[in-house]
């Protein structure tokens, strides 16, 4: 099912690119037709959500494909900030095994502001942790995120550069590097 959805999304992307290549008047009419179709589907989906009620809608929202449609039409029952928190709750145990954590400073209007905590804050491995665990979790739980801003991320040093602190015992302070 997931592969079929991905295939359909790729097909839709290709069709949109084809539409972009049309002359202005034809492209404008195609976009107008597409919007009208989306509005029609959105109205039907809104009615379905109304008939289903909050309990069924919440279960439907947990499904990746249906949840995505609810987001597209502004009908998702779980607010953005709660979806971000829920996504991070799933990654916190992993961060905890490395002596770190993450705090949501703000999640609104599609922007998520985070602070890395514990040994993740200022750790040279924080950039990798952010990309592989935190960002992925947030994007899966809240695909409508526009931007993720993080305090405590250390940019990787240029290749061949060894920070002076890495030569002494201070380098042993980051459990994420020890367990990697």
Domains within the chain, CATH numbers bracketed: 2-72 (no CATH), 80-179 (3.30.300.130)
Helices and strands (H and E) in the chain: how many: 7, 3
User: What is the predicted pLDDT for the residue at 174?
Assistant: 46
Q: What is the pLDDT of residues 47-90, one digit of tens each?
A: 999 999 999 999 999 888 899 899 989 999 999 999 999 999 99
pLDDT for res 4: 82
What is the pTM assigned to this prediction?
Answer: 0.68
Question: CA 172, CA 163: separation in Å to the nearest integer?
Answer: 13
Unique residue bearing structure tokens 């459990």? 175
In the prediction, which pLDDT does 23 show? 93
Q: In angstroms, rounded to a whole number, what is the distance separating the alpha carbons of residues 69 and 72?
A: 5
Residue whose C-alpha is closest to residue 73's, from 154, 164, 144, 126: 144
pLDDT beneath 50, residues of the chain: 168-180
Q: Round to whole Å and give the CA distance between 73 and 41.
A: 9
Residue 1 confidence (pLDDT): 66
């Amino acid at each position: 099912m997931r592969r079929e959805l991905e295939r359909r999304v790729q097909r839709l992307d290709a069709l949109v690119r084809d539409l972009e290549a049309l002359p202005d008047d034809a492209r404008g009419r195609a976009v107008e037709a597409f919007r009208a179709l989306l509005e029609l589907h959105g109205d039907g989906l809104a009615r379905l959500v109304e008939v289903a009620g909050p309990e069924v809608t919440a279960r439907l929202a947990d499904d990746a494909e249906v949840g995505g449609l609810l987001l597209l039409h502004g009908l998702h029952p779980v607010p953005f900030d709660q979806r971000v928190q829920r996504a991070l709750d799933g990654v916190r145990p992993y961060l905890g095994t490395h002596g770190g954590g993450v705090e949501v400073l703000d999640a609104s209007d599609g922007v998520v502001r985070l602070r890395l905590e514990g040994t993740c804050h200022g750790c040279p491995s924080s950039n990798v942790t952010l990309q592989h665990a935190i960002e992925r979790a947030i994007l899966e739980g809240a695909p409508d995120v526009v931007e993720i801003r993080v305090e405590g991320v250390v940019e990787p040093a240029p290749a061949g550069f060894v920070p002076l602190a890495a030569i002494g015992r201070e380098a042993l302070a980051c459990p994420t590097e020890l367990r990697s």
